[in-house]
Structure 1
Amino acid sequence: MPRPYTFSEYSPDWPLEFEREASRLKGYLKENLTAIYHIGSTSVPGLAAKPVIDIQPVVSSIEQVDELTPFLEREGYKAWGEYGLPGRRFFTKDRNGYRTHNIRCYPVGHPDIERHRAFCLYLCAHDVERKEYEAVKRAAFAHNPGNIDGYMDEKNGWIKHLEPIAIDWFRKQVS
């Protein structure tokens, strides 16, 4: 059965919700945490999206995250393990049957850290592409209102096209 999801206009509450959840995670991960980023569409001001806060903790030791997993589950997170991406630990939080948070935990140096950050920061800096992505997302939701997998699949081609452009741009910004 498909997981229910919603789509909404950008909310200024999303960065605040990121800060609240990031604060909790900082308290749980303690000295293992080296950085924590708000990623995904809710991190891009003005972008309509599924109202799911994507958080990317970067840790020194992924094994310490594994040891902490039973505690995180007691705190309301669902652990999914790598969930298809080697090296990652994926956790979710739900409220009233709807996903509210995706936690994508990576060890320092994992290439997906840059990929996720670059994509979001590129959209923050490029209005034309942000608006184009929003149109893609709106169409994907209209075609797949009750099917999260279909929604994700429909966006995937556009994302894969933009990712290398965003990564190249990002690398130029940080060099």
Structure 2
Amino acid sequence: MNVIVTAYNPNWPALYEQEAQAIRQILGKELIAIHHIGSTSVPGLFAKLIIDIMPVVAHIEAVDPLSAQFEALGYEVMGEFGIPGRRYFRKGGDNRTHQIHIFEQTNQHDIIRHLAVRDFLRCHPQDAKAYGELKQQLALRFPQDIESYCDGKDAFVKDLEHRAVLWYQSR
């Protein structure tokens, strides 16, 4: 997978909303909330060209029978994909455009950590700038190696997530 990091695009919220509408239709009454997360949700932040979407549902098991509807939208069904209790879907193959991370409303740990990082970066532009610069450097260093790119961000992201969750919970 090619690693391309680009300047913030003001069209990303509209792209999120367009996809969120289709997801709302699929999840129906099971949907509690839906959030734009990840780097494309932070104005001004450099990001890979992937819209991350986090629906929160009443019952995670209710998502499984809907897999064919997500496939009809072009998503690949990935199951938990390394995070217990999540349902993960990705769209676009090697040129991924969207990722869906569905969590049950009782999974506050994963929901809060995603929202905390997003909100922290929105409120702390110096941290967002440092994160964006790191991503740019790693993309230049590993333009065709997504695993090395992710490994290069790992320590920074873990520290960021820790600080973000503390900040989020103290508000």
2:103 corresponding residue in structure 1: 106
| Alignment partner of 1:115 out of 110, 113, 116 | 113
1:88 corresponding residue in structure 2: 86
Runs of 4+ residues over 2 Å off in structure 1: none
Q: State the 1:61 CA deviation.
A: 1.1
CA distance in 2, matches of 1:71, 1:166: 34
Equivalent residue runs for 1:1-175 within 5 Å: 3-94=1-92, 97-110=94-107, 111-173=109-171
CA distance in 1, matches of 2:119, 2:55: 17
Q: State the 1:106 CA deviation.
A: 0.5
Structure 1: tracts of 5 or more residues without a match: none
Q: State the 1:164 CA deviation.
A: 1.3
**How many residues end up aligned between the 2 structures?**
170
Contact kept, 8 Å, 1:5 with 1:146, in 2: the verdict is yes
Contact kept, 8 Å, 2:50 with 2:97, in 1: the verdict is yes
Contact kept, 8 Å, 1:5 with 1:98, in 2: the verdict is no
Contact kept, 8 Å, 2:90 with 2:98, in 1: the verdict is yes
CA distance in 1, matches of 2:111, 2:50: 18
Q: What's the TM-score once normalised by structure 2's chain length?
A: 0.96
CA distance in 1, matches of 2:13, 2:3: 20
The 3-state SS of whatever aligns with 2:116 is: helix
The 3-state SS of whatever aligns with 1:104 is: strand
CA distance in 2, matches of 1:89, 1:109: 14
Q: State the 1:5 CA deviation.
A: 3.6
The 3-state SS of whatever aligns with 1:116 is: helix
Structure 2: tracts of 5 or more residues without a match: none
CA distance in 2, matches of 1:171, 1:81: 29
Q: State the 1:56 CA deviation.
A: 0.2
Contact kept, 8 Å, 1:29 with 1:65, in 2: the verdict is yes
Q: Provide, for residues 30-71 of structure 1, a one-character-per-residue CA deviation record: whole Å limited to 9, x for no partner.
A: 000000000000000000110100000000011110011122
Q: Which amino acid aligns with 2:80?
A: E
